[in-house]
Structure 1
């Protein structure tokens, strides 16, 4: 019976974290350096390279470092832009070692986006260029990335071939860190194939190098070793390694690894029949996952705001320089005019004509400056709109997360009720307790509070405008329905979030429509979006 409950609990975990994966997050920047300071430092280094040196390789390195920083924050578009700037400096010279690193980094960005075709195209170019330059280090890295791409697509034979070639190169180079990482990658492939003994052997080889390094890599390999024991049915040993990973993650304050360790502990305790501990660790994993997402979103917004402010200051400085040039030109013109009046009175008429022409040119220049300023403001407005769209996408993902979570809890509740209704079973009391606990969780409104906070940040005036448009006061339920329609969600999705039937949603939409000054031919969703 305990094994049955363990399988049921693991199914729940796999629904919430499919295929044992987690959201791809960067390291916890708040525990080390503030994103704004890091950006300013890298930007200053790039500007210094541009102003103090004509060496294009140094400028390309500055763009490369900025691109790598954007990649760690999940700002993939900005990362690709910086890498392309670097390639422009190098002139796309495949014989330049820095070109190989740039190509490899671009491939990593596309791999993070699961665009395997483009990622492998860049990794293959890196591989060929490395062979041509006899650069075994970059060749080993390119093969490792190709193996990772094949593994993500389930092409395990190809993945193993690439990783084994990469391992041989690292061994030839005497690169112990590269060997450790490749051992771990090979262990991951064997784990996917269900060959847990082989997986453990490779994870253990990686751990021999990473032991007591107090690094994120050590935490990761400890979790992997714990997984291999758990999947072989050795729960006690699996628990020991996962607890070690949790302890080290706490010391390093690594949110991603904390989430991973708690999630693995939840699975282990579920299989051991300790469902209370399994539930506690599952809740903690969800808590760290939420904190990790908030941290990444905060870091991204901070950096985007810093970039915007930096660009704005640069534009202001450039404008002041142009104004200074105009002022200097006016002063020179005045001296010429005074000199001309004092020395050559005879050509006064000609001089006045030239002066009028100069004024016209200045006016035209000012008009061009004004147009440039308007164009700059338009660009700034588009950037702000993109930021709002980013947060709107985050809010939509959050609302879908609510929907998915509620559906999972409802399905589990119904399943457990059916089990209670069956005869000849002595687990009714326990099942009823679980049903009560799940129903209690469904009544919590914490998610709605967080949803309201996110929504008000993106659409601060929406609720106020919607309330003013209605002659009769709108109920909280009608305001919630309006907010979900503003996110362009379907009736089915809204029904899942509000925990009602789709028919109830249609009735609620009809009642809300009657309270609003909306044309009969206009869609209610379009009306909400245009508010």
Structure 2
């Protein structure tokens, strides 16, 4: 699944923007935000000159709302969408009403306000059914599925996306089918059903392949993720590298940052930490450039809105002054009235200016806070990686300790046997076998392991014992520690010198003693302690 936050704007559109029918989304390029804003304002003014055509006015308000949404100005976006709904009035049968309701829901989805988002999506679903609008229904179901997925309600998400897919197939909408397949692959990826996820991602890629679209990059990244999470790092790296090449061609900062981050994860899992660090730095670079571009556009648009309002106030002021002059310049009360009007307008203008400055400062503070939060999360993730590596080192040390001790004792015994020509080798070999068995039963290695483990996870045994409903035996504590190191049942069986079936039984008994949710993995529970 695409992760994929300073990414509020991008994240809102990674949720199936194609499935949602965003055919009218305003394309933005860094430095051209003002041009887009002026063009839309001109269209709005032209449409308002024909008040009989309310639908045209509503369409321009819709485009303005989408434009503000792309900039992450959610309050302004909602205001434009509501203005469009006012122009439509009670005409709920207009397909434009469905698009507006969906867009309002997407804004709330971007803000993780799932209750309000689903309220709007549900309204458009019902309206689409009443109008027999299969495409509107497919889009609404896709949005509902996206909302359920973000809340980890995967069963509901799959139901909605499956119905959406059937409708797009019925309509012959290949684009909608491709995006819905990608969304379903994302759900199965969250469920760690990577084979199923790959099937859906591959179907989506079959449509987007070679089209040099953002959607093609997203699918390639998803394919790379699915292979990486299955442990096929080479194939995962190949797909993500292809996504990176496409992102370079389109010069999309978000996709460049995402591809470098995924490649960094691949190299880290492959043990090439130098390459991993190199790509992580590149991801950070593109992320900074992306935030800078977004901030630049937001500030420019806010400044343009302010200047537009200022000009409108000045025009209004001139009109009032002309009216006063035309009426009667000799009357004192007219002059006083004009002065009063001028002071009122100036007061209003200064108030708007102060509010605009405060708003810009507030946006800067929000962006700074988002960046600090992101840095804190990254630091926490790095600390967790260090802990996992330390745990792997302790496990490796334990195995070496066990093997080296046995091999050393065997080497000394065999060397003695070779030096004595008339020795009874059969009895010596039996003694050697007994010695090996004896060494395998020694607890010294476990003592060393306990020392390593307590240094790396000092609170683990205490926490595990407190959480247990019944007292845990030493064998159960050992099993818990090996699970904390994320070892497989086969590896644990080898270390404990038991069969894998015995390990499974022991895991089941340990799980019964712990307050663990039925759906939660025992290994994940141990790792999170």
For the pair 1:24 / 2:22, whether they are aligned, the reply is no
Structure 2: gaps (5+ residues): 14-25, 401-529
Q: How far apart, in 2, do the equivalents of 1:160 and 1:387 lie?
A: 41
Alpha-carbon deviation of 1:93? 2.8
Alignment check: 8 A CA contact 2:30 2:297 kept: no
Which residue in 2 is equivalent to 1:367?
A: 340
**Are 1:381 and 2:365 counterparts?**
no
The equivalent of 2:252 in structure 1 is 254
Structure 1: any 5+ residue segments left out of the alignment?
1-17, 332-354, 428-531
Distance apart, 1:316 and its partner CA = 1.1
Following superposition, the deviation at residue 373 of structure 1 comes to 2.5
Q: Note the C-alpha offset of 1:287.
A: 1.5
Q: Which residue of 1 aligns with 2:268?
A: 270
* Aligned counterpart for 1:231 among listed residues 223, 229, 232: 229
CA contact (8 A) 2:71 2:294 kept: yes
Which position in structure 2 is the counterpart of 1:120? 118
Task: Determine if contact 2:261/2:279 at 8 Å carries over to the other structure.
Answer: yes
Q: Provide the residue aligned with 2:48 in structure 1.
A: 50
Q: Is the 8 A contact 1:136 1:169 kept in 2?
A: yes
Aligned position for 2:152: 154
Query: Does structure 1 residue 208 correspond to structure 2 residue 214?
Result: no
CA contact (8 A) 1:25 1:292 kept: no
In the alignment, what sits opposite 1:101? 99
Per-residue CA deviations over 1:74-93 (Å, capped at 9, x if unaligned) read 11000001011111111143
**Counterpart in 1 of 2:408?**
none
- Pairwise CA distance, 1:236: 1.5
RMSD of aligned residue pairs (Cα, Å): 2.8
SS for the counterpart of 2:8 is coil
**Alignment CA distance shift 1:33-1:181 (3 Å):** farther
Structure 2 Cα separation of the partners of residues 24 and 382 of structure 1 = 24
CA gap of 1:408–1:223, structure 2 versus 1, over 3 A, is closer
> Which of 1 and 2 has greater Rg?
2
Deviations 1:20-65 (A, max 9, x none): 4252334997746610101000111011100244311111111110
Q: 1:196 to 1:324 in 2, by over 3 A?
A: same
Q: Secondary structure of 1:384's match? A: helix
Q: CA deviation at 1:227?
A: 1.1
Matches of 1:110 and 1:200, distance apart in 2: 30
- Partners of 2:204 and 2:81 lie apart in 1 by 31
TM-aligned CA deviation for residue 361 of structure 1: 3.9
Inter-CA distance 208–31: structure 2 relative to 1 (3 Å threshold): same
- Does structure 2 conserve the Cα–Cα contact (< 8 Å) formed by 1:25 and 1:256? no
Range with greater deviation from structure 2 (224-233 or 36-45): 224-233
TM superposition shift of 1:171: 0.9
TM-score by length of 2: 0.68
